[in-house]
């Protein structure tokens, strides 16, 4: 039986911890068939990013359309998108093949725009393109707190400001907003917040004392995407993703001289979450 087919539109990580590589690892562990549209090749390891080569926007769009018209896409996600021209090309391709909340294919937008240290990774025009081109097409957006600050100007320090941030992001047009709390390090637990313009859903989880969290956002978004491809509702898919990333952070492993990756390998030998 052919498994559900999912597409990641993102950059590569030569260290294998994040980006396309993390997405494909999570897809495999979730039992779905992963396809890729590469946006950039990065030169990086566990210590940092030393270089980026951006893919021409028309080639990014062509990758999306090639797999959509032949294989079919049951859910799609984004990661690092590099620049505004690539974002606009993705928006056009998404409309042509039915990806997005107004089409029939769920679309998870992980607005990768800040490094692990909180540094801005996208130029201001690319941030604006995320807000204007992709957020209105998104089924769910999944920013961390550094990305929330870049996108809205809000510093999230507690549940009240987390709710304020969710409302500000929802105003850009996504169907759902997931404000992740992993970077709220003053909080004892990690309580992510899901919002659809009406209701807030809190997703609590433990906080692990580990430096090995590379690729955590990619892995969470990939697990959510995989669950949506199987027909889950957004709250069900996000709850699945939360359980998946908790186990993946718990089983994270050291690698190289810097930040090791979260690990979806637990899924290969454990019962289903």
Mean pLDDT calculated for residue range 177-204: 91
pTM: 0.95
Q: What are the beta bridge partners of residue 10?
A: 38
State the residue range of the domain holding 244.
5-259
Asked if residue 76 belongs to a domain, the reply is yes
Q: Domain total for the chain?
A: 1
Asked if residue 265 belongs to a domain, the reply is no
Tell me the per-residue pLDDT of 98-132, one tens digit each, with 9 for 90 and over: 999 888 999 999 999 876 655 567 888 999 999 99
Asked if residue 32 belongs to a domain, the reply is yes
Q: What are the beta bridge partners of residue 41?
A: 12, 53
Percent over 90 (pLDDT), the chain = 86
Query: In terms of Cα–Cα distance, which of 134, 98, 143, 138 is closest to 225?
Result: 138
Q: What are the beta bridge partners of residue 264?
A: none
CATH of the domain at 49: 3.40.1190.20
Query: In terms of Cα–Cα distance, which of 167, 172, 171, 98 is closest to 134?
Result: 172
- Average pLDDT of the chain to the nearest whole number: 93
Asked if residue 30 belongs to a domain, the reply is yes
Asked if residue 268 belongs to a domain, the reply is no
Mean pLDDT calculated for residue range 215-239: 97
Tell me the per-residue pLDDT of 8-62, one tens digit each, with 9 for 90 and over: 999 999 999 999 999 999 999 999 999 999 999 999 999 988 889 999 999 999 9
């Amino acid at each position: 039986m052919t498994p559900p087919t999912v597409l990641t539109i993102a950059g590569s990580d030569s260290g294998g911890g994040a980006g396309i590589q993390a997405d494909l690892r999570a897809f495999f562990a979730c039992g779905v068939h992963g396809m890729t549209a590469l946006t950039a090749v990065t030169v990086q390891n566990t210590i940092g990013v030393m270089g980026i080569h951006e893919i021409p926007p028309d080639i990014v769009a062509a990758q999306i359309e090639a797999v959509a018209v032949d294989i079919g896409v049951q859910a799609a996600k984004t990661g690092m998108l590099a620049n505004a021209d690539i974002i606009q090309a993705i928006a056009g391709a998404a409309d042509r093949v039915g990806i997005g909340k107004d089409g029939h294919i769920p679309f998870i937008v992980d607005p990768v725009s800040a490094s692990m240290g909180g540094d801005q990774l996208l130029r201001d025009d690319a941030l604006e393109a995320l807000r204007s081109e992709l957020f209105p097409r998104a089924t769910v957006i999944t920013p961390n707190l550094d990305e929330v600050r870049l996108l809205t100007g809000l510093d999230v320090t507690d549940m009240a400001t987390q709710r304020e941030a969710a409302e500000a992001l929802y105003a850009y047009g996504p169907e759902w907003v997931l404000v992740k709390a992993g970077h709220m390090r003053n909080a004892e637990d990690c309580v992510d917040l899901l919002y659809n313009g009406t209701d807030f859903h809190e997703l609590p989880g433990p906080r692990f004392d580990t430096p090995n969290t590379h690729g955590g956002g990619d892995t969470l978004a990939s697990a959510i995407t995989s669950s949506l491809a199987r027909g889950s509702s957004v709250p069900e898919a996000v709850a699945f993703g939360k359980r998946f990333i908790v186990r993946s952070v718990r089983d994270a492993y050291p690698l190289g001289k810097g930040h090791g990756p979260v690990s979806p390998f637990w899924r290969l030998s454990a019962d289903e979450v």
